Amino acid sequence: MAVKRDYYEVLGVGRNAAEDEIRRSYRKLARQYHPDVNKAPEAEERFKEVSEAYQVLIDGEKRRNYDQFGHEGPAGFGEGFAGFGFEEIFESFFGGARSTTRSRTERRGADLRFDLRISFEEAAFGTTREVEIPRLETCGHCEGSGAEPGSKRDRCPNCSGTGEIRKVQQSIFGRFVNVTMCNRCKGEGNIVTSPCSKCRGNGRVRATRKLEVQVPPGVDSGQHLRLTGQGEAGPDQGRNGDLYVVLSVSPHPVLVRRGNDLIHDLTINFAQAALGDEVEIPTIDREARKLHIPAGTQSGDTLRVRGLGVPYLNRPGRGDLIAGVRVVTPKRLSEEQRKLFMMLGHTFGSNPDGESQGFFDKLKQALGSD
């Protein structure tokens, strides 16, 4: 491995040199060794060395680190101050890319979004839905080339088939060549002279495609499904984008989803709460289920039925069905009901739980007190 020279030595300045002195020295050396000016074999390496030294010494923090730690940099910086790209430095100081060739980059089609509303049960158990997606597709007549079948592409007269436009610029460092992509052929180097009669040279046509969307069990509102390659076709025969189906789930009339559990608001009367009962509760399984209410159930209690919730997404099992109990106080009573409640109330005495003796009465009796 070659040993790096001291950055101050590279720029020919002292260790106490001011920024202006460092900048003047760099410009002088950059002009001397710039590859477009100096054709010597070692000129490019010298230019890179000068540029790297300048990038470190002109930055206050980098210069302090270099003065303290040298080329290795402080601990945790890995390769220290190495890795300054010649192309980045060139573009930063002289404008434009140095490369004289430009490779063609595939242009990917746009991603699409489709909002799909499904029922509560469809979200729980999954479904298959057919949707219609308007999108740009590859022209079948010209197969995406944009040229009428049987015709040929001609060399672009704007760039003479290179796909690039070169402009010579004069600066204090001499003459430089700025290379940009040809805006007529988009870097292809050739143009369509006989456009396709179907797509008019675009290579893509607008169409509506019917697609099947497989919705897995356990999805919820806001989640999306990705259909790879079902977005728009890319220009210039580029690959398709993706389709994202964003789900929206309709609410259930009496059930509320919380994660994979289902919540049901169960209202019962005083008699059911005190004596216990068996009632029917709704489910998402197309039939109601019997639920046992224990005697003495209080308002605010919850009763859980295992395995009657929403199926888990991408794994076996289901959540639970939870009934939140609310004991309803009647607002209107018939005369007979009023009499029965009064008789019942007398049996309770002053104890809301219905016991004949209170806690302190029982305590006194146990201690033998009067």
Report the Cα 206 to chain-centroid distance in Å.
28
Q: Nearest Cα to 322, choosing from 291, 285, 359?
A: 291
User: Quick check: 1 pLDDT over 60?
Assistant: no
| Confidence at 308, pLDDT banded by 50, 70, 90 | very high
pLDDT for the residue 347: 79
Name the residue with higher pLDDT: 363 or 30. 30
Name the residue with higher pLDDT: 72 or 233. 233
Give percent above pLDDT 70 in the chain. Answer: 81
Q: 244 near 211, Cβ under 8 Å? A: no
User: Quick check: 344 pLDDT over 90?
Assistant: no
User: Quick check: 168 pLDDT over 50?
Assistant: yes
CA distances to 113, 156, 167, 222 from 246, in Å:
7, 44, 48, 6
To the question of pTM greater than 0.85 for the whole model, the response is: no
Query: CA 363, CA 365: separation in Å to the nearest integer?
Result: 5
| Biggest alpha carbon–alpha carbon distance for the chain | 120
Q: Nearest Cα to 36, choosing from 170, 209, 146?
A: 170
297-304: long-range pairs with CB below 8 Å, 24+: 297/268, 297/272, 297/273, 297/325, 297/327, 298/273, 298/325, 298/327, 299/273, 299/325, 299/326, 299/327, 300/324, 300/325, 300/326, 301/325, 303/266
Q: Could you read off the pLDDT of 21-80 as tens digits, one per residue?
A: 999 999 899 888 887 778 888 888 888 898 999 999 998 888 888 887 677 654 434 444
pLDDT for the residue 69: 67
pLDDT for the residue 246: 95
pLDDT for the residue 93: 46
Across 112-129, average pLDDT = 96
Q: Nearest Cα to 251, choosing from 118, 131, 343, 362?
A: 118
- State the DSSP H helix or E strand holding residue 55, giving kind and residue range, or none if neither: helix 43-57
**Helix, strand, coil percent content, the chain, rounded in steps of 5:** 25, 30, 45
